[in-house]
A and B are shown apart, each in its own frame.
Chain A
Amino acid sequence: MEQSSEIMAAPAPALRQRIFEAYLSHLQREGHPPASVYRFCEGGGFTEREFFGEFASLEAVESAWWSGTLERVTASVEAGSEWSSFSARHRMLAFLFAFAEASLDFRSLLLLRLQGRGVLTNPAEFAGFETQFLAFAQRLLDHGRASGEIASRGPLGKLYPQAAYRLFRSVIDFHLRDASPRYERTDAFIEKSTSVLFDLIGKQVLDSGFDLIRFLLPKWTNRA
């Protein structure tokens, strides 16, 4: 990992990297993406051919950057020494804490894209980000199912990755609005909200609740 990033930071950075840097610096400075690929290339010092060789559109640049950023966080937690021994709940917590920490490097970009936006809608630039997260969540949930930590509830289980994504977006939203010193309240929020999610998908309330309803249902229907 470290070696490859050193190569990236070599005197002539790879084209893709240069495009990312030029795009982000424009976005952060101006508060909006470049007006056109032509102008972007002119300012960035590369040709349109070079640009389109890497990305199909300006939007694709940003989308790829968000998903690449998320991938670096998931890769770093998944490579952690404790990862294999962690339960799904702990894996989710470790990921969210790592993301909260990493996001301090690009907080202004998150604010630009997500501030004031509800957690249910995704900006177009976050398409790759969401896909990346859903794949990660699927791996995490599979681990939880295999260990029996997470209940298998047939078709309902298909909603779990989406539920995890909403949790993730709520955490980002909370973090962006958090004014506590060193964002301590975000940490507490992560712990609490993750507990709620895993209590809901764990073999606890719902299953015993369903069990009770199944037990009572014949009685009610007979009476009706």
Chain B
Amino acid sequence: MDPSPDPTSGQDSIRSTPLSRMAALAGAGASVGMNYLKYYGKRAVSSQNPENSAAARTALDEANASRIYGTFSQLKGGPLKLAQMLSMDDQLLPAAYAAEFSKAQYSAPPLSWPLVRRTIEREFRQPVEALFQQFTPQAAHGASIGQVHRAVLDGQPVAVKVQYPGVAESLASDLRVVKPVALQMLGLREADVAHYFKEVEARLTEETNYTMELRRSQELAAACAGLKNVRFPAFHPTHCSARVLTMEWIDGEPLDRFADGPASQAERNAIGQALWDFYDYQVHTLLLFHADPHPGNFLVRENQLWVLDFGCTRAITREFHERQFALLDPAVLVDPVAFPAALRALDILLPEDSPPVAEKILALARQSIGLLARPFLSATFDFADPAFMKAIYDMGEANRKDKSLRQLRGARGPAESVYLNRAFFGIYSLLHRLRAEVVIHPVSRSRQAAALEALP
């Protein structure tokens, strides 16, 4: 036996041709089918007892989720990112899928060391040894379209993010191939997720541009410099290129591990507050936000929140911001005129909707906005409250199961809302996991009031 395990053995690297990708996905599809057979088998036995049946269904979702996740992570690149994105929208995927897919950040299989070396040396026209005093050949962790290595530069530990070669080129064809199979496997309708695919493709293309990521990271870090307990790693622009990013190494604890660990309530609140303030400032003041509030993108060190990975940011227009946040006013929610008007302004309610359809959408929007806006409406909000998250999950689950709703869904609402919703759903989940109680700044509320007045 080879004493040092080959890090690439058992790794398949990005599958190349559309055909082999289809084959891999079909493999997952077939085994999902098998799991369903097992489920129906179990259900036939235990159908008298509804609780058993629910448990079997959960077990089924978990087994399928981990199988599908395995397939997506083999394919890396676009499909993996897509899985992550879908997992952020709880209305689209059962909880078990969402949990499995959120692992994506940590466990994408690594690139071989010769390829990492080759990529770095091609980017900088110098041997790795001349660029860094030390460089660890094994990846410290994976990212959706690259992987991170630990290295030493000028005596300081740095993180070097290396992009999978060819990923930018194969993105569009990946998504085209994966889409129909993914829809089939996950039981989604194309119209429901068309706007996702469009947004995913646009963001992914941006994400492959590390030069842009470097610029944005530096701009956002400078703009957010005044925020308490929010920190950003420093970049080394001389060691950055379109395919490689070098930044300060942060020895922190990933946010989800911190949340599940033994931190005190005061520590949890401080980190939760930092997270809230960071998004509050970005969304309401900068109108540009870090659109990937994935636990792997945040580290906790010495009671400060470190924000990593600015590949995915989204700018919103002032106009969209005003329309969107006008909805958070409870007075608007119950107003029979202003509320439909606000939904119409956002294209959630369409002119061609028949009265019963419009009624259904109004009721649904009133319920979901009433629920999702709750944190904004108080001076402090305790995200530890299980009732709040459970209500969100239950609503998502009920909507997901509502067949008549599926007919309505399609591409409603502006594309910007995909990422805004994803960001807020992401931070609600993170804050709940942190069990943090957060002070809601009057800034947010007064801004909403101002936004409301600006509404036509």
Q: What residues make up the interface of A, taking CB atoms closer than 8 Å to B? A: 85-87, 89-90, 93-94, 97, 101, 147-149, 180, 182, 184-185, 187-192, 195, 198-199, 202
Question: Are A97 and B115 touching (Cβ within 8 A)?
Answer: yes
Q: How far is the CA of A149 from the CA of B243 in the complex (A)?
A: 32
Contact of B165 among A87, A149, A185 (CB under 8 A): A185
Question: Are A85 and B166 touching (Cβ within 8 A)?
Answer: no
Question: Are B111 and A191 touching (Cβ within 8 A)?
Answer: yes
Question: Are B6 and A87 touching (Cβ within 8 A)?
Answer: yes
Cβ of B164 < 8 Å from any Cβ of A?
A: yes
Question: Are A185 and B6 touching (Cβ within 8 A)?
Answer: no
* Given A97-B118, A148-B1, A195-B12, A90:B6 Cβ within 8 A: yes
Question: Are A89 and B8 touching (Cβ within 8 A)?
Answer: yes
Question: Are B11 and A195 touching (Cβ within 8 A)?
Answer: yes
Contact of A184 among B12, B111, B166 (CB under 8 A): B166
Question: Which residues of the partner chain B approach A97 to less than 8 Å between Cβ atoms?
Answer: 114-115, 117-118
Question: Which residues of the partner chain A approach B11 to less than 8 Å between Cβ atoms?
Answer: 195
Question: Are A192 and B2 touching (Cβ within 8 A)?
Answer: no
Minimum Cβ distance to chain A for residue B318 (Å): 37
Minimum Cβ distance to chain B for residue A80 (Å): 10
Known: A90-B113, A97-B118, A185-B166. 16 other contacts (CB 8 A): A89-B6, A89-B8, A89-B112, A90-B6, A93-B112, A93-B114, A97-B117, A184-B165, A184-B169, A185-B165, A188-B164, A190-B115, A191-B111, A192-B14, A192-B16, A195-B13
Question: Which residues of the partner chain B approach A149 to less than 8 Å between Cβ atoms?
Answer: 2, 6, 9
* Given A148-B1, A180-B166, A191:B9 Cβ within 8 A: no
Question: Which residues of the partner chain B approach A93 to less than 8 Å between Cβ atoms?
Answer: 112, 114-115
Question: Are A90 and B112 touching (Cβ within 8 A)?
Answer: yes
Question: Which residues of the partner chain A approach B167 to less than 8 Å between Cβ atoms?
Answer: 188
* Given A180-B166, A182-B122, A187:B4 Cβ within 8 A: no
Secondary structure type dominating chain B contacts: loop
Question: Are B6 and A192 touching (Cβ within 8 A)?
Answer: no
25 pairs from A and B in contact (CB 8 Å cutoff): A89-B8, A89-B9, A90-B8, A90-B113, A90-B114, A93-B114, A94-B114, A147-B2, A148-B2, A184-B168, A185-B165, A185-B170, A187-B115, A187-B118, A187-B165, A187-B166, A188-B14, A188-B16, A188-B166, A188-B170, A191-B13, A191-B14, A192-B13, A195-B11, A195-B12
